[in-house]
Amino acid sequence: MSEINLAYYPGCTLSSTAKEIDIALHQVCNTLDIRLTELPDWNCCGSSSIHAIRPQLAVSLAARNLFQAQSLGQDLLVMCAGCSNRLRVASNRLSNDSTTRRVNQEILNNQLDKDLKVHHLLDLLPKRLNQKPWADALEKKLNGLSYVPYYGCLLASPPELNNYPKLYGSMESVMNRLGAEQRAWGYHAKCCGSFLSIARPDIVEPMVADIMNNAFMAGAECIVTACAMCQLNLELRSKANKQVPIFSIVELLAYGMGSSDWQNWFSKHLIDPLPLFENKRLN
Amino acid sequence: MQKSDPTEIPIRNDGKEKQLVKITNHLARQNVSLCWQCLTCSGGCPFADHMDLLPNQVIRLVQLGQVKEAIKCKTIWICVGCHTCSTNCPNSIDIGAIMDALRQLAIRYGVAIPEKDIFRFHKYIFGSIQRSGRLNKLEAMIQFKLGTGRVFSDIKSGIKMLNRGKLELIPQKIKDTGELDRILTHYDKRRRSFKAHE
Ligand code: SF4
Ligand code: SF4
């Protein structure tokens, strides 16, 4: 079966705040024969803040990364919901909007030959895991663990990105293969608060409390996310009395593939998941 | 939560309305006249409780040419651009993009910004990226906290993050800063940047 070669954009979160997800992602991709080449000199995609106050500049910041992927001759893999939106919008506009093309040609002396695809791991996963030989890479290591999936903004995108696949069900299909049991809840696409978590914690705290509380009421022992930013916001802004551990889908995948250094990642969580694992005798 | 009633905002016409609507549409790449005020956006917005105008009301003001009123509200700053609204809008209007456009206009026209902390936060993030091309969260957070004068308000979570190795002490920097400079200068030349607010 064929390998997939992708350029990889870690982004500021995975290269600092969530280093463990970066490590787990590399292990997962390695097992699935997805070869990643990190962009040689990537810059921040502008995060929500640059987009908020200077949207055109944010497109150029993203463009610089896209041009690097283009010179590697590969489509791009991104793990962060925010980054992937920013890069997708930029890719769209650089290939379809003449003004954006011209301006960025002027600044960066480069242009996008064709619409560069920006992938999120979740849009590759379900298909990859259905094929041999990768279908056997996962063991049912999470038998009996109940969870709720939390996608956050990953399920929402501006109308101009409607040509990209929606990711509904992709985390569930992975968790199913790991033997975990899904609980029903209505918060899978609820916003985590984004930058307001720092700028206006007073707004975000009740929202996060609400999300946590509902995970509790749904009978879930943990929340599974696909975005490092969501994970951080949920961990940072929830109150201690009612908390469930938050996992990244990538960490659990790597764990299910038999990775040995999972304790290192789990010890970096702000809400310690080890007691849950010991309780369930999951190791 | 008390909402201001947009019907109480006096309609002021000075002949520039149409042009301002055009500018807003252009910056947002949207067409506000497509909105039929169904309120789907406001019904789903997770931050509606903290806004002074509901998202559909902001759009209504723009439709009526009252862009100068729309750029004064808190809503455009509270909006995080989560796209919950635009995903569900029956007319595929990118409401977040309209908020982006209004925010830009608010900065350009130098109106008083009602959510100072949020604006300050954006500026520090911008500064961090301006200096190194990558975002250093520790640097931006410290500056932000010093700026608000509430240094100790969040110290616990900060220390927790430091202990778990979640904040980097040494900022990363990109290699080719020439390209970054070109990007920054290009957009600085084209607009009156933040000067109105510093
Ligand atoms: S959902 Fe769309 S059409 Fe309905 S009020 Fe909001 S912007 Fe207008
Ligand atoms: S994009 Fe803005 S207005 Fe729309 S739902 Fe999110 S916060 Fe509300």
- ipTM score assigned to the predicted complex: 0.88
pLDDT in tens, A70-101: 989 899 999 888 888 889 999 999 988 888 99
Look up residue A155 and give its two tokens: 């399920």
Establish whether the linkage from the previous residue to A133 is cis, with ω within 30° of 0. Answer: yes
Residue A244: is its pLDDT beyond 70? Answer: yes
> How high is the pLDDT of residue B1?
44
> How high is the pLDDT of residue A77?
93
pLDDT in tens, B146-173: 666 655 556 666 666 666 666 565 666 7
> How high is the pLDDT of residue A269?
84
Ligand 1 atom with the smallest distance to the CA of B42 is 6
Tell me which chain A residues have a C-beta less than 8 angstroms from the C-beta of B165: 19, 268
Ligand 1 centroid distance, CA of B121 (Å)? 29
> How high is the pLDDT of residue B193?
45
A217, burial (CB in 10 Å: exposed 0-12, middle 13-18, buried 19+): exposed
> How high is the pLDDT of residue A45?
82
B144 or B64: which carries more pLDDT confidence? Answer: B64
> How high is the pLDDT of residue B194?
45
Tell me which chain A residues have a C-beta less than 8 angstroms from the C-beta of B96: 158
Residue B195: is its pLDDT beyond 50? Answer: no
> How high is the pLDDT of residue A267?
79
- Mean pLDDT over residues A7-33, rounded? 84
Residue A1: is its pLDDT beyond 80? Answer: no
- Mean pLDDT over residues A250-258, rounded? 89
Ligand 1 centroid distance, CA of B7 (Å)? 18
- Mean pLDDT over residues A100-117, rounded? 86
Q: For an interface test with B, which of A19, A42, A44, A168 has the most B Cβ atoms less than 10 Å from its Cβ?
A: A44
> How high is the pLDDT of residue B162?
61
Average confidence score pLDDT of chain A: 86
d(Cα B42, Cα A283) in Å, to the nearest integer?
46
**CB spacing of A156 vs B87 below 8 angstroms:** yes
pLDDT in tens, A117-161: 899 999 888 888 888 888 888 888 888 899 999 998 777 888 888
> How high is the pLDDT of residue A54?
87
Q: Which domains does chain A have, with CATH numbers?
A: 4-120 (1.20.1050.140), 140-279 (3.40.50.11810)
Alpha-carbon dihedral of residues B137, B142, B148, B153, nearest 10 degrees? Answer: 100
**Which DSSP state fits A118?**
E
d(Cα B74, Cα A163) in Å, to the nearest integer?
32
- pTM of the predicted model, to two decimals? 0.88
